Amino acid sequence: MKIKSIKSSLQLFALFFIAMHFASCLNYKKVPYFTDLPQTDTIAKILNPYQSPTIQKNDIISITVGSISPEANALFGFNSGSSAGTYSTGSTYMVDMDGNIEIPLVNKVKVEGLTTKQVRDEVQVKLQAFLKEPIVEVRISNFKVAVLGAVNAPGMISSANERLTLMDAISLAGDLQIDAMRDNVLLIREENGVRKEIRFNLNSSDVLNSPYYYIRSNDIVYVQPGRFGTREINFRSLTYLFTAMSIFTFILTLTK
């Protein structure tokens, strides 16, 4: 009689076990990205125009200069190149708290709030007084993004490419974990003394058209963990418990 009671309990437990299994499977619809896109081979949409990131205080920018005038380049300590011209290896400058950098002979240049292209054009004009046909390249050297939460490789991501998208950052962080809440991805951005908090739903393709889809330096991306991972652990624990109870029942049957 006692064994029958145990068997009945095990049957109920087995039904609960199966229900838990199917409940966990229902969450799969939230796992894929962009589930609203139609299942067609090609989709053409007009993209939002890309806006270059602007330089902020404490940014480190690299300026590389080339010129066809070796004599003038010597004033700046630029390296000698081919007969077509000479080029600098690139000098780095930290933007001070007033938003300026200081270049030899050119003196202070206001760069805060400007894009790298705007800084390039301004420095190029100022260098024309010292160099013949100067060619200038400007890059943000410390372009970095923090990706935290339910990703496989959380941490600080450095990028040599300023045109970094949200999906690029997630990819560099090892992609989202299976239990990540794709409908609740938070972007934190500080810009001009204002902190913005933007939420994305990666199940929807609307994120591709968001004006915040392109990441800026010093952005923080936080992916909220879901409950699936905890459920997975509980599901494994129940599996072990069910196995142990089955063995115990089998032993009782043998000793009857």
pLDDT in tens, 180-190: 999 999 999 98
Judgement on whether residues 236 and 111 belong to the same structural domain of the protein: no
Rounded to the nearest 5 degrees, what angle is found at the Cα of 244, between the Cα atoms of 243 and 245? 90
Judgement on whether residues 172 and 102 belong to the same structural domain of the protein: no
Q: For 18, phi and psi rounded to 5 degrees?
A: -65, -40
CA dihedral 106, 110, 113, 115 (to 10 degrees): -10
pLDDT in tens, 135-182: 888 999 999 999 999 999 999 999 888 889 999 999 999 999 988 999
Number of separate domains in the chain: 3
- The residue among 140, 170, 199 that closes a domain is 140
Judgement on whether residues 118 and 169 belong to the same structural domain of the protein: no
Neighbours of 181 (CB within 10 A): 20
pLDDT for 97: 92
How big, in percent rounded to 5, are the helix, strand and coil portions of the chain? 35, 30, 40
Judgement on whether residues 131 and 74 belong to the same structural domain of the protein: yes
Domain range for 123? 60-140
Q: Give the CATH number, domain containing residue 216.
A: 3.10.560.10
Question: Residue 193's Cα: distance from chain center in Å?
Answer: 22
- For the record, the structure tokens of 70 come out as 């070796």
Judgement on whether residues 154 and 220 belong to the same structural domain of the protein: yes
pTM (2 d.p.): 0.70
Asked if residues 55 and 115 have their Cβ atoms less than 8 Å apart, the reply is yes
Radius of gyration of the chain (CA): 29
β-partners of residue 195 are 190
Rounded to an integer, the average pLDDT of 100-112 is 89
Residue 145 CB-half CA count within 13 A: 28
Judgement on whether residues 123 and 159 belong to the same structural domain of the protein: no
